[in-house]
């Protein structure tokens, strides 16, 4: 498995010499491109040495590319189908892994606990989501670098299973964000440096049960409240060029965000965040700008089951292109979930 992860990283290092990909399935600002496939130039990795009497050729300009997915859930029928596939099968990323691996960083909301241990907790509503550890290899194959564990299902099988998950993920080259062995760790930013740009990630959950939240002495996720956001975001800003806050919020199956979401998003941006992205409603919610910075309220489902309505089958992959503190462009790439919970990227004619 470690060799597989290293192969992914080597591929990304090779892509570092390519020009920025511009994804255009659903452009969201005036600088976004409208092409259907990522474009790559063929700049030389090692330009020829200049003659003594000439000026050397500057290195090609290469911004940083990121992809965010909505809810990735390995429980219930998704888990059953995963266990029925061979160990090297890419399911549930059969149709999306090759796309997600083209980005410098890929981030998603891990809407379950991945563990064989733990004890089911008593919580309303009674949906308990747990995936087999085989899911780690599937995430690696799809190129995930960071996963949010700040959600209302990360503690479904108790603190022991949650702790096992956040300790296991780094061994696969995947960093959990929004969770830790205590509150300090859960609220600490995850920092990722790609070339000369450092990006900070913070993640929060405000969906009950509150018992899943980390305390000063117990593991859990980062609970979303205004005071902590006002404290955490400025600390992240001092360590990074660009700060992204991933929120687990809103009302399930509501296709419009509420005033509470808007308020907390603006608190994050007023505190220094450069972008806010959300999950949990299981449907797409709109985006808006505040102080020139995007707020994407819900990406919807990415990998999920119980697809009784078309609206819950549809989601977005958020793609970003950054250079230091500048957001060069961003896009929403439409996806559609198939029979077994696996997403496909929609062509423009079906978006």
Distance CA 293, CA 273 (A): 9
> What pLDDT was estimated at residue 33?
34
- Which string of b and e fits 299-336 if b means at least 16 CB within 10 Å? bbbbbbbebeeeebbbbbbbbbbbbeeebbbbbbbbbb
Q: What's the whole-number average pLDDT of the chain?
A: 87
**Residue 12: inside a domain, yes or no?**
no
Pairing of strands 130-131, 146-148: unpaired
Tokens of 87: 């160990």
**Residue 46: inside a domain, yes or no?**
no
Percent over 90 (pLDDT), the chain: 80
**Residue 274: inside a domain, yes or no?**
yes
**Residue 233: inside a domain, yes or no?**
yes
> What pLDDT was estimated at residue 57?
63
Contact predicate 157/165, CB 8 Å: no
**Residue 42: inside a domain, yes or no?**
no
Handedness of CA 89, 95, 101, 106 (dihedral sign): negative
- 18, pLDDT greater than 70: no
**Residue 307: inside a domain, yes or no?**
yes
When pLDDT is averaged across residues 170-183 and rounded to a whole number, the result is 98
Tokens of 251: 């009302």
Task: Return the higher-pLDDT residue of 315 and 11.
Answer: 315
Q: How would residue 43 be classed by pLDDT, with cut points 50, 70 and 90?
A: very low
What lies within 8 Å, CB to CB, of 92 at 6+ separation is 74, 78, 81, 82, 138, 303, 340, 341, 342, 343
Q: How many domains does the chain contain in total? A: 1
Q: Which pTM value belongs to this model?
A: 0.83
**Residue 45: inside a domain, yes or no?**
no
pLDDT digits (tens, 9 = 90+) for 59-103: 677 999 999 999 999 999 999 999 999 999 999 999 999 999 999
- 44, pLDDT greater than 90: no
**Residue 72: CATH number of its domain:** 3.60.21.10
When pLDDT is averaged across residues 267-275 and rounded to a whole number, the result is 98
**Residue 102: inside a domain, yes or no?**
yes
When pLDDT is averaged across residues 232-260 and rounded to a whole number, the result is 98
When pLDDT is averaged across residues 168-195 and rounded to a whole number, the result is 98
The residue segments making up the domain with residue 324 are 64-346
């Amino acid at each position: 498995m470690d060799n597989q992860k290293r192969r992914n990283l080597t591929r990304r290092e090779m892509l570092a010499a390519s020009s920025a990909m511009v994804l255009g399935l659903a452009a969201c600002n005036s600088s976004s491109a409208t092409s259907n496939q990522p474009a790559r130039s063929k700049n030389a990795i090692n330009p020829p040495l200049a003659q003594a009497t000439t000026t050397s050729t500057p290195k090609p300009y290469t911004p940083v590319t990121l992809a965010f997915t909505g809810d990735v859930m390995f429980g219930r029928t998704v888990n059953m189908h995963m266990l029925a596939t061979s160990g090297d099968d890419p399911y549930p990323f059969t149709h999306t892994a090759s796309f997600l691996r083209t980005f410098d960083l890929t981030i998603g909301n891990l809407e379950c606990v991945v563990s064989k241990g733990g004890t089911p907790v008593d919580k309303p509503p009674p949906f308990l989501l747990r995936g087999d550890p085989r899911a780690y290899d599937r995430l690696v194959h799809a190129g995930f670098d960071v996963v949010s564990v700040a959600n209302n299902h990360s503690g479904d099988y108790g603190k022991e299973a949650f702790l096992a998950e956040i300790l296991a993920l780094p061994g696969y080259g995947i960093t959990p964000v929004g969770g830790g062995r205590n509150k300090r760790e859960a609220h600490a930013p995850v920092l990722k440096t790609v070339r000369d740009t450092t990006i900070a990630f913070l993640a929060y959950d405000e969906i009950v049960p509150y018992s899943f939240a980390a305390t000063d002495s117990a593991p859990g996720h980062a609970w979303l409240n205004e005071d902590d956001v006002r404290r955490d975001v400025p600390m992240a800003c001092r360590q990074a060029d660009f700060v992204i806050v991933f929120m687990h919020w809103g009302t399930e199956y509501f296709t419009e965000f509420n005033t509470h979401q808007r308020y907390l998003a603006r608190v994050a941006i007023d505190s220094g965040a450069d972008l806010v992205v959300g999950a949990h409603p299981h449907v797409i919610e709109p985006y808006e700008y505040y102080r020139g910075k995007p707020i994407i309220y819900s990406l919807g489902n990415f990998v999920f089951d119980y697809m009784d309505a078309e609206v819950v089958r549809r989601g977005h992959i958020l793609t970003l292109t950054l250079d230091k503190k500048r957001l060069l462009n961003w896009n929403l790439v439409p996806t559609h979930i198939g029979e077994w919970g696996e997403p496909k990227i929609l062509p423009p004619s079906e978006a």
